[in-house]
Structure formats: structure tokens, C-alpha cells
Structure 1
Amino acid sequence: MNQVEALQAALAGEHAALYGVGVAGGKLSGARFRAANDTFESHRDNRDRLSALLVAAGETPVAAEPAYDLPLAVNTAATASALILIIERRIAAVYGDLVEAAEQPAVRAFAIESLLAVAASQLTWGGAPVAFPGATP
């Protein structure tokens, strides 16, 4: 995978993350809703940065799908939190791929920052610390 392909994959992942966190947020309230909102804003910022990196590289950013299949039904606060944890784990793997494929220091730095942020976010959503976030078994 080259840098452009990894950027496009990360952008596609962010589109899916925004959809899923948006769905999950509808089942949360109070502090959990605010945490979901912060997570949503972080993914939106990353989506915008990825789009800008692709445009700067002369590429057309991949568009969001109209809807995404969710890995579980979201009908309670517990399933909403579980969904966000799944999303954060999946996007960590995507950013791990971008770290590996990055050809420019600025892209690699962004990928590392994003990977660290989603690894920390996993803790908010009930995940446990792992030595190598984003690594796939």
C-alpha cells in the first residue's frame, strides 16, 4: 500500500467512524454523550485533514457512503459505547497502516498523532491499554 492508498483508506475509515459515532451518540446522554461528541469532532477534524492531504497530493478524496452496516445493533447506551469502542479499534488499525505507508514526515506525524489519539479514546470507551495500538494480530 502506498501513501495515497493509505490516506484514502484512512479517509474512508473516518467517514465510517463519523457515521457510527453519530448513530451511537443518539443513544447516549450526559457525560457519555459529551464524550461521544468529542470523539465525533476528533474524527471530523481527521476527515478534514485527510481530505486536505489528498487534495494537496492532487488526488480526489474518497466520498462517504450514504450509510454503513454497523457491526452490532445500537439500541442501548451499553451497545452504543461498545460500538464506539469497536470503531476506535478499527480506525487504530487503519492509522497503523498509514504510519507504515507514509512517505512524508508530515503525513507520518499526523498518522502517529491520530493513532495515539484513538488508542487513548479506546480507554474512554472501555478498552484496555495495549502495547502496540493499531497492530493487527
Structure 2
Amino acid sequence: MTQVEALQAALAGEHAALYGVGVAGGKLSGAKFQAASELDERHRRQRDKLTDLLTAAGETPAAAEPAYDLPLVVTTPATATALILLIERRLTAVYADLVEAAEQEPVRALAIQYLLTTAATQTTWGGAPTAFPGTV
């Protein structure tokens, strides 16, 4: 996988994350809703940064889909939380791929930052820490 391919995959992951977190947020309230709102904003910033990197490289950034098939039905706060945890797990793997594919130090540093952030976010949403985030 090239750096551009990994950046495009990360951008596609952020698009999907924004959709999923938005759906999940609709089933949450109180502190969990606030946490989901903050997570949504973080994913928007990450999406925008990835878009900027691709544009600067002369590439056309991947567009968001109009809708995404969710891996589970979100009907309760518990299923909303499970969806957010799954989203963060998947993004951690995508960012691990970007770390590996990064050809430029600034891209690698950003990928590491995002990998660590998504790994830490998993613990906020009920996940257990792992020794090697992003590996399966």
C-alpha cells in the first residue's frame, strides 16, 4: 500500500466514522452524548487534515458516501456505545496501516498521533487497552 492509498483509506474511514458516530449519538444522552459530540468534532478535524494532505499531494480526496451500512443495528445506548467502540477499533487498524505506508515524516507523525488517539478513545467507550493498537 502506498502512502496515498493509505491516506485515502484513512479518509474513507473518517467519513464512515462521522456517519456512524452521528447515528450513535442519536441514541445517547447526558455525558455520553457530550462525549460522542466531542468525538464527532475530532473526526471532522482529522477528516479535514487528511483531505488537506491529499490535496497538497495533488490527489483528489475520496468523497463521503451518502450513507453507510452499519455493522450493527443501533437502537439503544448500549448498541450505540458498541458501534462507537467498533468504529474506533477499525480506525486504529487503518491508522496502523498509514504508519506503515507513510513515506514522509510529517505523515508518519500524524498517523501515529491519530493511531494513539483512536486507541485511547477505545478505553473511553469500554474497550480494553492492547499492547499493539491497530493489530489484529
TM-score computed with the length of structure 1 as normaliser:
0.98
Counterparts of residues 105-124 of structure 1 (less than 5 Å): 105-124=105-124
Instruction: Give, in angstroms, the shift of residue 20 of structure 1.
Output: 0.1
Please give the root-mean-square deviation of Cα atoms over the aligned residues, in Å.
Answer: 0.4
Instruction: Give, in angstroms, the shift of residue 72 of structure 1.
Output: 0.4
Instruction: Note the residue ranges of structure 1 that are not aligned, 5 or more in a row.
Output: none
Instruction: Note the residue ranges of structure 2 that are not aligned, 5 or more in a row.
Output: none
Q: State the match for 2:26 in structure 1.
A: 26
CA distance in structure 2 between the partners assigned to 1:43 and 1:131 by the alignment: 24
Q: Secondary structure at the match of 1:20?
A: helix
Q: State the match for 2:81 in structure 1.
A: 81
Task: Kindly report structure 1 stretches of 4+ aligned residues shifted beyond 2 Å.
Answer: none
Instruction: Give, in angstroms, the shift of residue 36 of structure 1.
Output: 0.5
CA distance in structure 1 between the partners assigned to 2:38 and 2:119 by the alignment: 14
Q: State the match for 1:71 in structure 2.
A: 71
CA distance in structure 1 between the partners assigned to 2:93 and 2:57 by the alignment: 23
Q: Secondary structure at the match of 1:119?
A: helix
Q: Secondary structure at the match of 1:59?
A: coil
Q: State the match for 2:38 in structure 1.
A: 38
Matched-pair identity in %? 74
Q: Secondary structure at the match of 2:111?
A: helix
Q: State the match for 2:130 in structure 1.
A: 130
**2:67 is the counterpart of 1:52:** no
